[in-house]
Amino acid sequence: MAVRIIGTGSYLPKKVADNHFLSTIVDTDDEWIQQRIGIKERHLSNGKEGTTYMAAHAAEAALENAGICAEELDMIIVATVSADTYVPSTSCSVQGAIGAIRATCFDLNAACSGFLFSLNTAYAYIEMGMAKTVLVIGAETLSREVDWSDRSSCILFGDGAGAAIVRWEEGEGGLIASVTGSDGSQGDVLTCKGRGIQNPFHNSKRKKDYLKMEGQAVFRFAVTTVPRCVKQILKKTELDVEDIKFFILHQANLRILELIAKRLKVDIDKFPMNLDRYGNTSSASIPILLDELNRNHLLERGDKIIMSGFGGGLTWGAMLLEW
Ligand code: ACO
């Protein structure tokens, strides 16, 4: 049995905010942001482009790419930490928007590891025979969760959505191996205690409710945990870094990715990136990047790729798949 990704899609809001624009909001500059983090610009919701809106657009694009219709979906899982509403879930709202009448729907919160955890969940449902075709989405409107007066965090994030459709097929390959983990004892290094409201830049939340991060602790966590779980995956599958075409990592920060590549002794060219254009879109970053690679025909049948996510919770994971 193979559980394959048969289609991908993404949606980025139209509004682009570059570093110069951010320097009109907080005391920062383009050079500092590019040197420390590698981000030049990010896409931000115009207020109407909420999490459901972006997720549904990414879903439509993935359905078209896969060449299937919404009625064929057995399940929709949306990974998000920035849903428009508690209830209905984003996945149910997406179901309504795209007409996936047969699907069972639920959301999953694992912060920036959410897309990987959702893919694992899809795999498990498929393996149990409870679903055949699953739509997995990562979608975030982080501009609603960010404190736009905190220069150490607001520069990092962007909005967007990415989607992948996985399906059971005969044969080999697809999702092959996975490792995941969590450490709630370190939850305080990255928190978001309140819920967003519809307008980005609208400061109606209490300051302590916004997204808060201990930057250096997150940095240390990422550069130790990701190489460890990538090595676990390689050991499990008896593969070597040379066998891997791409390492598709959560797009948090250029320096984090560079250090991970160095620690794994892998050329940075094997780490595709788009964080310079989109910033950190949490659970959406891996599927947005996957969609770019797919649409640019950079993935060929048989290619082995490793995806890895890491983020709040703390949570982390890595997955090997054969395209
Ligand atoms: N512009 C200009 N100066 C700034 C800015 C800014 N946007 N932000 C902070 N500074 C200043 C600080 O005030 C401080 O000034 P001081 O020395 O006068 O006090 C100085 O820069 C250094 O601040 P630090 O916080 O010590 O900066 P650091 O070197 O740790 O870099 C950074 C901060 C880039 C956030 C770093 O900690 C980092 O990369 N952390 C990883 C965080 C990350 O990527 N998180 C992603 C989200 S979580 C996830 O996706 C898993």
pLDDT tens digits for range 109-147: 999 999 999 999 999 999 999 999 999 999 999 999 998
User: What is the side-by-side strand order in the sheet with 174-182?
Assistant: 104-108, 75-79, 133-141, 159-169, 2-11, 174-182, 315-322, 304-311, 246-249
Peptide bond into 314 cis (omega under 30): yes
Instruction: Decide if 280 is catalytic.
Output: yes
- pLDDT score of 193: 83
pLDDT, average across residues 155-182: 95
Q: Is residue 199 flagged as an active site residue?
A: no
Mutate to test the pocket of ligand 1, among 21, 152, 186, 278 (most ligand atoms within 8 A of CB): 152
Whether the full predicted model's pTM is greater than 0.85, yes or no, is yes
pLDDT at position 210 is 86
d(CA 99, CA 70): 6
Identify the pLDDT of residue 206: 66
pLDDT for 230 equals 97
What is the DSSP secondary-structure string of 206-221?
A: -GGGSEEE-HHHHHHH
Catalytic residue among 105, 112, 154, 229: 112
Q: Tell me what pLDDT residue 248 has.
A: 98
Cα–Cα dist 60/66, whole Å: 10
pLDDT in tens, 4-58: 999 999 999 999 999 999 999 999 999 999 999 999 999 999 989 999 999 999 9
Residues 300-316 pLDDT 10s: 999 999 999 999 999 99
Lowest-pLDDT range, 66-70, 115-119, 202-206, 264-268? 202-206
Bridge partners (DSSP) of residue 178 are 319
